[in-house]
């Protein structure tokens, strides 16, 4: 850890020199990039300097204790040493926390895809419950949501719903939601009162970023225009404005039908396509690096069961950390922070152990 910290200190000093050079001062882009990098590592530099200062103070106090012959003075110095040791431990923990590499995707906006799984109409109704849960959670966070496409059933469910969430650290909070969600309850379509188990899959995709260049050749796209269905603007069901884009090399499909014009739908569908291609490329490049996290917190794959919503027991259980809440209606109304905080803490504890 301290080798890495020393390297950060060297880079910080180098950035100081660069930001003072006439060449960089005259270049607004370089000034912005270097300034942002310096601001990101400055907390590490401050924490490391505090760590060094406390270490020097502790050495001085121990030397003074060894040289002192007065018992009362020795007792006072011993108390100071204990306080300095505690402060040094806290500074070390803070430095470890700051040295945890941050996922560069954490600050990004996201596209969330929810699809009904096993369970027919009940699965579609559960998908609608999850959509409502995430939009309510986003509202509590002050984030904006925008429906991109929805394939509705006749009784208020969704076979598939895709929407965008824009807000600070949206991916950092919602990335833990990817996977299979399971519900156990008596469906509204069930006349005998039997409890059914149904599933829905959730995928959380960060918006495409600059760190990975995503090039899309127009010749690799098949674009289909069709008539929108379901709720929407005034033009829905009256014009062929919905757009479906197929990326032929990968077979990835993206569509949008909720904007008012064909052009707007095409722009939004391309955003979804770019996010899916970005996610594909990111996972291909960094799958090895992320492997340990995946074994601890979960892979985030859609085939993995991550959470069960059990209505008869009023219980929601996250299987990755064995944590349960007995406030199912509250959770489905967007009170997700208790789960997200536990998952985040679990991941941070593992990464702290790695840094140590």
pLDDT of residue 171 exceeding 50, the answer is yes
Q: What pLDDT score was predicted for residue 297?
A: 40
Question: Does this chain's domain 110-211+298-352 share its CATH topology with 218-284?
Answer: no
pLDDT of residue 356 exceeding 70, the answer is no
- How far apart CA 160 and CA 149 sit, in angstroms, is 8
Look at 99 and 32; give whichever has higher pLDDT: 32
Residue among 99, 88, 89 nearest 2 (CA): 99
Establish how many alpha carbons lie within 13 A of residue 189's alpha carbon, considering only the half-sphere containing its beta carbon: 14
* Residue 40, burial from CB neighbour count under 10 angstroms (0-12, 13-18, 19+): exposed
Q: What pLDDT score was predicted for residue 156?
A: 87
Q: Which of 85-89, 185-189, 267-271 has the lowest mean pLDDT?
A: 185-189
pLDDT tens digits, one per residue of 222-248: 988 877 665 444 344 456 788 889 999
- How far apart CA 262 and CA 270 sit, in angstroms, is 12
The pLDDT-based confidence of 84 (bands split at 50, 70, 90) is: very high
Q: Which of 87-101, 265-279, 297-311 has the lowest mean pLDDT?
A: 297-311
Q: What pLDDT score was predicted for residue 272?
A: 87
* Phi, psi angle pair for 294, to nearest 5°: -65, -35
- Domain residue ranges of the chain, discontinuous segments joined by +: 2-99, 110-211+298-352, 218-284
Establish how many alpha carbons lie within 13 A of residue 315's alpha carbon, considering only the half-sphere containing its beta carbon: 10
Q: What pLDDT score was predicted for residue 242?
A: 85
7-24 average pLDDT score: 91
pLDDT of residue 17 exceeding 60, the answer is yes
Residues 6+ apart with CB under 8 A from 151: 158, 159, 160, 161, 229, 230
What three-state secondary structure class fits 239? coil
Q: What pLDDT score was predicted for residue 287?
A: 60
5-11 average pLDDT score: 86
Has domain 218-284 been given CATH number 1.10.3720.10?
no
Q: Which of 58-62, 82-86, 188-192, 301-305 has the lowest mean pLDDT?
A: 301-305
Contacts of 336-342 spanning 24+ positions with Cβ under 8 A: 336/133, 336/137, 336/177, 339/176, 339/307, 340/173, 340/176, 342/318
Beta bridge partners of 254: 245
Are 199 and 306 in contact, with CB atoms under 8 Å apart? no
Assigned architecture for domain 110-211+298-352: 2-Layer Sandwich (3.30)
pTM: 0.67
């Amino acid at each position: 850890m301290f080798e890495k910290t020393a390297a950060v200190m060297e880079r910080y000093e180098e950035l100081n020199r660069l930001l003072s050079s006439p060449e960089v001062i005259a270049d607004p882009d370089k000034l912005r990039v270097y300034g942002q990098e310096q601001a990101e590592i400055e907390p590490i530099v401050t924490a490391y300097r505090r760590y060094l200062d406390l270490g020097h103070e502790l050495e001085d106090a121990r030397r003074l204790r060894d040289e002192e012959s007065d018992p009362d003075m020795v007792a006072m110095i011993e108390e100071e040493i204990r306080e300095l040791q505690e402060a040094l431990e806290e500074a070390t923990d803070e430095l470890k926390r700051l040295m945890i590499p941050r996922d560069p995707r954490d600050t990004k906006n996201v596209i969330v895809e929810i699809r009904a799984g096993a369970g027919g109409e009940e699965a579609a109704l559960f998908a609608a419950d999850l959509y409502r849960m995430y939009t309510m959670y986003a509202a509590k966070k002050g984030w904006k949501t925008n429906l991109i496409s929805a394939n509705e059933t006749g009784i208020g469910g969704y076979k598939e719903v895709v929407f965008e969430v824009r807000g600070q650290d949206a991916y950092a909070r919602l990335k833990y939601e990817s996977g299979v969600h399971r519900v156990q309850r008596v469906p509204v379509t069930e006349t005998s009162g039997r409890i059914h188990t149904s599933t829905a899959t959730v995928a959380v995709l960060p918006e495409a970023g600059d760190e990975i260049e995503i090039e899309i050749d127009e010749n690799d796209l098949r674009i289909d225009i069709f008539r929108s269905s379901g709720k929407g603007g005034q033009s829905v069901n009256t014009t062929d404005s919905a757009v479906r884009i197929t990326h032929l090399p990968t077979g990835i499909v993206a569509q949008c039908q909720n904007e008012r014009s064909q052009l707007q739908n095409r722009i939004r569908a391309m955003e979804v396509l770019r996010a899916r291609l970005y996610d594909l490329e990111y996972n291909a490049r960094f799958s090895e690096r992320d492997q340990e996290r995946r074994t601890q917190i979960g892979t985030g794959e859609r085939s993995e069961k991550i959470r069960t919503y059990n209505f008869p027991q009023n219980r929601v259980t996250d299987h990755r950390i064995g944590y349960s809440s007995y406030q199912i209606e509250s959770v489905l109304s967007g009170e997700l922070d208790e789960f997200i905080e536990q998952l985040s803490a679990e991941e941070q504890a593992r990464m702290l152990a790695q840094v140590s």
